[in-house]
Amino acid sequence: MTMKDAALIPVTIKAIDINGQGNISLQLIAQQGGLLPVHSPGAHIDVFIPDIGPRQYSLCTEKSNREYYEICIKLAENSTGGSHFIHHHFRVGDNLTISAPRNHFPLPDAGRYLLFAGGIGITPLLTMAEQMSYQQIEFELHYYLSAQDQTAFLPRLNTPALAKHVFLHYSEANDSLRHKTPPSLCAADQNTQVIACGPDGFIQRLQAIMQQHYWSADQLSFERFSNANSTHNSDGLEFHIQLNSSGQRYLVGPNQTIAEVLLSAKVDIMLSCEQGICGSCITDVIDGIPDHRDSVLTEEEKTENRQITLCCSRSKSPVLVLDL
């Protein structure tokens, strides 16, 4: 698991606060002082957790403040160790390493937006909503949770600038996306983009509702917590990866990922989530046809076959030449 040194930033935890039941927010400042790199709504960073590795968290810093970064972490029941370690071991004053911000979830151009957050999926959408409010763009933010006490960022959601645009939905009140559909989603509008972030089941339900009400598939942009397309099981076929710089070829077996093979060969690649959801390992394709299994590239980008995620995607052609 590697990350190019130039992309790493040493930071210190300035503050830790409870942010709704089961959530904590961290404020991170540069260890050397000064301003952190600029970022746009939808961006995320990797946080390198001792003995665990990198985990991705959306930046939810108010007004894109560069004096600190804010992230919010939910203690996941099925945690792979990252959220559990952060909740139980991180302390104010701890020094950490993070990546520079990356944004594979930027806002598409539209005249109006409908934002749908499932649980901790509020983190990237909150900053988007604040930017829309500042720019006086028409939008609605629908925030779905199991219970009221889980609501994160309530003071920010209740500000005069946001409150009239925010709709809180609680499953305990039978107000889930499965039980009720917001009126604005029942009328397809060509001028509107739907932006969503949440668990895979939440995204699938939203897609089904949009299809039912005749929205176009390209009117939905989303980021989810897991990649339903990602699988390390293959069709039993092996293929070769070729490095464009040297011509060196490596065999990728049926039960191997491209990233595993390249790392074993000491090829310098960026790798983080290993699920096809963060975009760290996106690499240009020189020749060959990728078998896309990620949730980062758009359908248009997948059709172009100019890029591939090394962590989960495979190859439809015998040889895949990469810009490495």
**pTM of the full predicted structure?**
0.76
Total domains in the chain come to 3
Same domain, 119 and 208: yes
- Beta-carbon contacts of 177 under 8 Å, excluding residues fewer than 6 positions away, are 116, 118, 144, 169, 202, 205, 206, 209
- Reported as a single tens digit per residue, the pLDDT across 126-167 is 999 999 999 999 999 999 998 999 999 999 999 999 999 999
Same domain, 159 and 196: yes
Is 175 part of any domain? Answer: yes
Contact yes or no for 156/134 (Cβ under 8 A): no
Q: With 90 as the cut, is the pLDDT of residue 239 above it?
A: yes
For the domain that residue 315 is a member of, what is the CATH number?
A: 3.10.20.30
Q: Which domain holds residue 139?
A: 112-224
Return the bridge partners of 307, or none: 284
Q: Which of 224, 255, 286 is the last residue of a domain?
A: 224
For the domain that residue 70 is a member of, what is the CATH number?
A: 2.40.30.10
Same domain, 208 and 246: no
Q: With 70 as the cut, is the pLDDT of residue 273 above it?
A: no
The pLDDT assigned to 3 comes to: 39
- Reported as a single tens digit per residue, the pLDDT across 61-88 is 987 789 999 999 999 876 667 899 999 9
Is 305 part of any domain? Answer: yes
Is 232 part of any domain? Answer: no
Q: With 50 as the cut, is the pLDDT of residue 5 above it?
A: no
Same domain, 269 and 314: yes
The pLDDT assigned to 220 comes to: 94
Same domain, 124 and 54: no
- Beta-carbon contacts of 117 under 8 Å, excluding residues fewer than 6 positions away, are 125, 126, 141, 142, 143, 144, 196, 197, 198
> What is the percent of the chain where pLDDT is above 70?
92
Q: With 90 as the cut, is the pLDDT of residue 57 above it?
A: yes
- Over residues 299-318, the mean pLDDT reads 89
The pLDDT assigned to 1 comes to: 35
Same domain, 190 and 256: no
